Structure 1
Amino acid sequence: MLKIGTKDDYVPWSYRAADGSFKGMEVDIGNKIAKVLGVKTEFVKVNSANRFEFLAQGQIDLMIASASDTAERRKIVTFVHPNYYSSGYTVFLPAAVKATQWSQISGQTVCAVQGAWYNKPAQEEFGIKVLAFPGTAETEAAMTQGRCIGLLEDDNQINVRLSDPKWAGYQMPLPIQADTPWGMAVRQADQSSPFYYFVAGVISEMHRDGTLLDLEKANGIKNSAFLIRMHDALKDHID
């Protein structure tokens, strides 16, 4: 049994379906890894605030939870390379907010999910105030209640929102910051283990053969520049 930690509120990457099962692109990746390994999967709910703790404590074997691969985080977990995705951060704003530069929202309060790596740099660099909540649903509720002017999120998530009629009248007008790759992670003790190299090999193959691009499409996500670039770099070339 392979225990995989993933989120349950991050459509379309990892979320709960109506029947309670986990669905999404990251879930598909986890199932692919388990299938090649020849074991069954058990998905464990994590969030941005506890996902590293769950991994370090051994509650999960592998984390696939939209975690940006940063130097600070590499001190507590081991990220599997190559990375499997990428995103930057910006703010999801109502169309009524006429801002095209970050300086225009300096001093304003934005809602964000606790533990998101970009909360601190966004505050320090742009002078915004962050009101953090445990999950995405709470941030949305706070924004619609007027407790913040918008949502501080990764650009991939905002792109998905913008395709949903529910969010007509919202926009992503500010420049995207700090595009950073996402990494699945194992415990530091597994850094040089056969398990680490196995997972790395599966992800490399999924880049090479276009599986990750296919999974994006299957989950209603427009093919990202990162996955296109990785596929072109690793695919078979015929001279």
Structure 2
Amino acid sequence: MGKKLVLTAALLSLATPAFAADIIQPAPVKAPMPPAPIFTWTGFYIGAHGGGAWSKWTGIDPTDPTSTWSSVSASGGVVGGQIGGNYQISNFVVGLEGTGAWSSVTLNAGGPFGGGAGFNLTLKNDYVATVAGRLGVVFDRVLLYAKGGAAFTRDRYSANNGLAGALAGSAAGAFNRTGWVAGGGVEWMFMPNWSVRVEYNYLGFGAITEQPVTSGNLVATPANVKLNIQTGTIGVNYHF
């Protein structure tokens, strides 16, 4: 009997440390949370925009070379799209962007640019397009930027002398222009991959020689006409 007690005590003494080791286990260590991704404006984007535009033609009417130097203004809307890319360096962003927009800027009138009283005149910008560099400063998800580069448009000239029969005459022409653009805006990344922006641009086009094609009882002579356009737009971009 004594030997059994001694053997039992020995077995218990050997099992106790292992049993205690099974009970006292260190709590598992949780893996640290991954750091939140750092926001950046770097990347490509595509979007759409729309707003208003204001044009001003200055020169002499091709159908009335005796008229004095004068100017006329027109307004309308623009709707189009843009594509570009940004690269962020610290708190600054550099980028390149191309835009293209259909334009409804149209003037329907008579007078100085219509050969004088009795003439009917239409001046119109078909489209407005730009290729420009952008430079901006960021405040987290807000980007303030300026832009500058090349601008393109086409203006259409159409006139008639308001007469009928053998005395009727008309003139028409389409003239492509290349100039420059300067502007700026503010853009806000309101949710992942999506931003909204407000932008103003001034487009300057130097004087070019315009000579419409005439028919009937109307003569047109070459005339220098210059043009400037201002646009104010709201746009949205999707960032890849």
Q: Structure 2 length normalisation: TM-score?
A: 0.24
Greater RCO structure (CA 8 Å; 6+ sep): 1
Q: Structure 1 length normalisation: TM-score?
A: 0.24
Tell which structure's C-alpha radius of gyration is larger: 2
Higher fraction of helix: 1
Higher fraction of strand: 2
